Structure 1
Amino acid sequence: MDVEQYKDIAPYRGPDVREAIERILRDKEALLKILSSLGPGETEAERQQVEAYGKYIVSQLETVKSYDEFQERITAGVFLPVIIDKSVDTFSFDGLQQIEKDKAYLFMSNHRDIVLDCALIDLALYKAGKMFCEMAIGDNLLTNQFVTDLFKLNGGVTVKRTLPMREKYLESIRLSAYFVELITEENKSIWVAQKSGRAKDGIDVTTPAIIKMLHLSQKKKGVSFSHVVNSCRIVPVAVSYEYDPCDLIKAGEEVTRIAKGEQTKKRYEDLISISRGLKGYKGNIHIAFGTPLEGEWKDSDQVAQEIDRQIHTLYKLWPTNLFAYDYLHNSTQFQDSYRDFDSEAFLYRFKGAREEVRQFALNTYANPVASYLAAQEK
């Protein structure tokens, strides 16, 4: 694999890692803002705790030489454990017995949170002794050098979204070639969301074009569609949050979009969502890894349908999901599963929201149940 031809989109490697770390250490103000995500600094004890985290992170950064080391020592070593401790009741995962630790995979999951979906998948892989994965992220998130450095030090692969149509198509093929070569030649895993952007309505459906592009990037080599799919070892992954800290924000955005059409995002809108997603209460979180895809495949639609089927059947359905489904369908189908659930407190969560926003948010919790039931019938 010629890494140099992908340097503009690939994570930092070699001397670029140290250069990025030196830039981060020089930007004290931005570093303090990131550290604030590790907890409040209202009391003296809290301030001392954040300061201790800061000193430890700086000491670790002094010897980091690769993005794998950054992920292990900083992201999986400090940030994620603290975020889980402060905003998650339980973090669990299963299915990793199907993942060989020395093999690379293309992990494809549903997409709820801008940053945490992949970060938690990576943490599960790390805890189970598997290799870390790179992650595909849109360039719309890379608002400045500091943010770009953090993402690329975390194995971030840049997806260029702000290009003219023709250039975007060619770039998609190049990005797909990077995915395939990374897995088959570098034996390095990568994560990509099953579709562009978060599923704000709770309906998780894979975009077949993602699969199609993988084949198009290799077509000149004369390899078959099935060969490309099988060599990428695609693993569907279901990410299930009990509570979404951004539920009402997403619902409001979607209701507005449906009424008025696509709206241009404000400059720091995504960064605000990242912060809220990291700090906000999430209840329980479960990551379920599916079975790597293999066999003869007719086309990208068939592959996308199998990814969807696995993700939908792998959902961990929390009381928030089951209650919302029964509530909206005026049924008691799942009532035994949420007898001890405080449904009044859950509904109070949406008090004050416009009725259409409230209904949309409740449907976001209920839709995974509908998808699960539909998948069971297939």
Structure 2
Amino acid sequence: MTKFDQIRPFYDAEANAAILEIVNNPMLIAMMEFSFPEDKTGQWKELMKRTHSLRDFQINFIYPGLMKVLERSSDGLSTSGFEILEPNTAYLFISNHRDIILDTSLLNACLYEKGLVMTTSAIGDNLIKKPFLKTLSRLNRNFAIRRGLKGRELLESSQIASEYISNSLLHENRSVWIAQREGRTKDGNDVTQKGVLRMLTLAEKDTDAFQYFKKIKVVPVSISYEYDPTDKLKIPQLIAKARDEKYIKSENEDFLNLMRGIIGTKKRIHLSINGVLDKEIDEIDQKDGSLSDKLSDLATVIDQKIWDGYRLWPSNFIAHDMLHQKNEFAEEYNREEKEAFEKRIKEKIDSKNPEEVHNYLAMYANPVSNKKQLSTTSSSGS
């Protein structure tokens, strides 16, 4: 048993046996009927039985399913920044994180379409406890991040995850996707956890730990949904946090979030690649300071890149104006868009509950606040 076996995706040599285990699973059948509605004879199943690599599984089955999701639940996906990425080159994509499945799936679809190296992607092991979901995620080249650990167990788990990421990037030439923080951003305020960056350095033993970030080609990524399909589901956790109460998930909450993210209304989606952090890492490294100081500076740079690349939609501007009871951004939306957003609020939450309304509006407004903070920082620095 290798040290990565607990967390890694399947190897290609294991793919077919794993597929045969789940090919008759009702959940997979439902997914494929959604992906291939014109296939009335189950041809997908015969093709899947003859699939022997993760890439073929992703391209022939996951990708068409994702295209159908976009067709049925969104107004389309736009992209920017991909032209700076080079073919046959592995990158560490550090992304804001809003949706369990779609964030990384959309990035991989774009990488595939543009002939670039697709990723192995981090996923919390709490999301793949069901055997079917674990098998499906490993076929989709996900690697597991173990959750809920403390002390020595946490350190050992972080070390293995770091070594797996390093091995993927530097030895297998496989890009890696990881969220900027543990779990999804619930409140729309995309902030990088320094602990995620510290974890990445654990694998580096040969050179200066901070220069390791230059070696692995760090690329901040922003994903922006006009409507968050899981917005309603995030409210109870946000209220508990605001009250300083412990939030306990219901038994099927993660699965419900996963499904709602796939089928829920998103309207427009934008995915932005925000450059490779070479110059920025050199500038931070030239400053005096500890590794901890440099990681804090790097987290700030990643935040700023993600905020800068974030596409603001009418929903964000409307929420910001409603939250602050101003018309600061009235030119960014029209009456129909505001009425549609107000209707969504009434449908999703108790619009007479100030606590729910505040948290719902803040979720959409915070990206605007972050952009404002970014422009203030730029002005003071120039």
Q: Please, what TM-score do these two structures have when normalized by structure 2?
A: 0.90
Q: Spell out, residue by residue over 1:278-325, the C-alpha distance to the aligned partner (whole angstroms, 9 max, x if none).
A: 001100000000111114234211111111010001111000001111
State the SS of the aligned residue for 1:102: coil
| Residue equivalent to 1:158 | 144
Any idea what SS the aligned residue of 2:93 has?
A: strand
Match of 2:222 among 234, 238, 247: 238
Which whole-Å deviations, capped at 9, do the CAs of 1:212-245 have from their partners, x for residues lacking one? Answer: 1222221xx2311232100111100000000012
> How far has the Cα of 1:131 moved from its partner?
1.5
CA distance in 1, matches of 2:339, 2:89: 47
Counterpart residue identity of residue 37, structure 2:
V
Please give the alpha-carbon distance, in whole angstroms, between the structure 2 residues aligned to 1:141 and 1:226.
31
Question: In structure 2, what is the Cα distance between the partners aligned to 1:224 and 1:54?
Answer: 58
Contact 1:24/1:146, CA 8 A, preserved across alignment? yes
How many residue pairs align between the two structures? 362
Provide the residue aligned with 2:2 in structure 1: 4
Q: Is the 8 A contact 1:236 1:289 kept in 2?
A: yes
Instruction: Find the aligned partners of 1:336 and 1:197 in 2 and give their Cα distance.
Output: 34
Picking from 235, 255, 264, the partner of 1:271 is 255
Which of 211, 215, 218 is 2:201 aligned to?
215
Residue 372 (structure 1) aligns with: 371
Deviation at 1:126, TM superposition (A): 1.3
When residues 338 and 229 of structure 1 are mapped into structure 2, their CA distance, relative to the original with a 3 A threshold, is same
Cα distance in 2 between the residues matched to 1:133 and 1:376: 32
Equivalent position SS for 1:250: helix
Cα distance in 1 for partners of 2:234, 2:135 equals 27
Counterpart among 23, 39, 42 of residue 55 in structure 1: 42
Q: Secondary structure at the match of 1:332?
A: coil
1:113-172 deviations in Å (ceiling 9; x for gaps): 011111111111112221111100011011221111110001100111143431111110
- Amino acid corresponding to residue 191 of structure 1 in structure 2: W
Consecutive unaligned residues of structure 1, counting only runs of 5 or more, are 40-48
Q: Do structure 1's residue 122 and structure 2's residue 108 form an aligned pair?
A: yes
Q: Which residue of 1 aligns with 2:83?
A: 97
Equivalents in 2 of 1:53, 1:217: separation in Å? 49
Supply the distance in 2 between the matched residues of 1:90 and 1:331 (Cα, whole angstroms): 30
**In the superposition, relative to structure 1, how do residues 377 and 54 fare at CA in structure 2: closer, same or farther (>3 Å)?**
farther
Amino acid aligned to 2:194: P
Alpha-carbon distance between aligned partners in 2 of 1:182 and 1:322, rounded to the nearest angstrom: 40
1:349 equivalent in alignment to 2:344? yes
1:73-113 CA deviation, whole Å, 9 max, x = no partner? Answer: 1111x110100000011211110011111110010111100
Q: 1:225 is paired with a residue of what secondary structure?
A: coil
Q: Tell me how far apart the structure 2 counterparts of residues 110 and 122 of structure 1 sit (CA, whole Å).
A: 15
CA distance in 2, matches of 1:207, 1:257: 17
Is the 8 Å Cα contact of residues 100 and 184 (structure 2) preserved in structure 1?
A: yes
**Structure-1 residue corresponding to 2:266:** 282
Q: Contact 2:312–2:367 (CA<8 Å) still a contact in 1?
A: yes
Cα RMSD between the aligned structures?
1.9
Say which of 63, 73, 76 aligns to 2:60. Answer: 73
- Residue 70 (structure 1) shift: 1.3
Residue in structure 2 matched with residue 202 of structure 1 by the alignment: 188
**Aligned pair partner of 2:15 in 6, 11, 17:** 17
Question: 3-state DSSP class of the match of 1:192?
Answer: strand
Q: Does structure 1 retain, via aligned residues, the 8 Å contact 2:23–2:29? A: no
Q: Percent identity, aligned pairs only? A: 32
Identify the residue that residue 361 of structure 2 maps to in structure 1: 362
Q: Does 1:32 align with 2:32?
A: no
* 3-state SS in 2 of match to 1:349: helix
Q: AA paired with 1:23?
A: E
Q: 1:131 aligns with which of 92, 95, 117?
A: 117
Among candidates 163, 175, 178, match of residue 189 of structure 1: 175
Could you tell me whether the CA contact under 8 Å between 2:16 and 2:52 is conserved in 1? yes
- Taking the aligned partners of 1:341 and 1:207, their CA distance within structure 2 comes to 38
Q: Shift of residue 342 of structure 1?
A: 2.4
Give runs of aligned pairs for residues 164-175 of structure 1, distance below 5 A: 164-175=150-161
- Of the structure 1 ranges 3-12 and 304-313, higher mean CA displacement relative to structure 2 is found in 3-12
In the alignment, which residue of structure 1 is the partner of 2:290? none
Change (3 A) 1:23 1:51: farther
